[in-house]
Amino acid sequence: MSAGREFFEQQVRLLQGKNAERLVDEQYAEDATLVSFQNVIRGREALKEYFRGYLELLGDLELISTDKFQETDNSIFFEATVRTNFGRGRVYDAMVLQDGKITLHFTGVIDEPPA
């Protein structure tokens, strides 16, 4: 398994474990930034606060499939299908890493076109 894939698998396990402190301490740099269309979160303490609320809202996270995955020496980019308290959904994430930690993380939900 590649380093990027191992990092991704570990992130899924940490999210499923619902431990925001461990997730951020193990995977995010001190000055990391998370960007979504709803938020821009900077720094470990703010990330911990964000993830505590986010994980509570998600409830149980089930990874149904990893639909697309790409990595370079310092980045991970994927789309996945998950099930949470919100039902089934498709998500995407792009992460830039330095020294094995996320420095910049883009995240979002893929809206499905109306049937």
- Which pair of structure tokens corresponds to residue 27? 């995977």
Which helix (H) or strand (E) segment is 42 a member of?
strand 40-42
Share the mean pLDDT of the chain.
95
How many angstroms separate the CA atoms of 14 and 26, rounded? 9
Q: What is the pTM of this model?
A: 0.92
- Which pair of structure tokens corresponds to residue 10? 């570990």
Residue 87 confidence (pLDDT) above 60? yes
Please report, rounded to a whole number, the percentage of residues in the chain having pLDDT higher than 70. Answer: 97
Show me where the domains of the chain are located. 3-110
Are 15 and 24 contacting, i.e. CB atoms less than 8 angstroms apart?
Answer: no
Digit-coded pLDDT (tens) for 25-55: 999 999 999 999 999 999 999 999 999 999 9
Q: What are phi and psi of 103, to 5 degrees?
A: -105, -30
Task: Give me the residues paired with residue 92 across strands.
Answer: 79, 108
Q: Quick one: pLDDT at residue 113? A: 56
Residue 115 confidence (pLDDT) above 60? no
Residue 114 confidence (pLDDT) above 80? no
Give 3-110's CATH code, choosing from 3.50.50.60, 3.10.450.50, 3.40.50.1860, 3.30.1360.200. Answer: 3.10.450.50
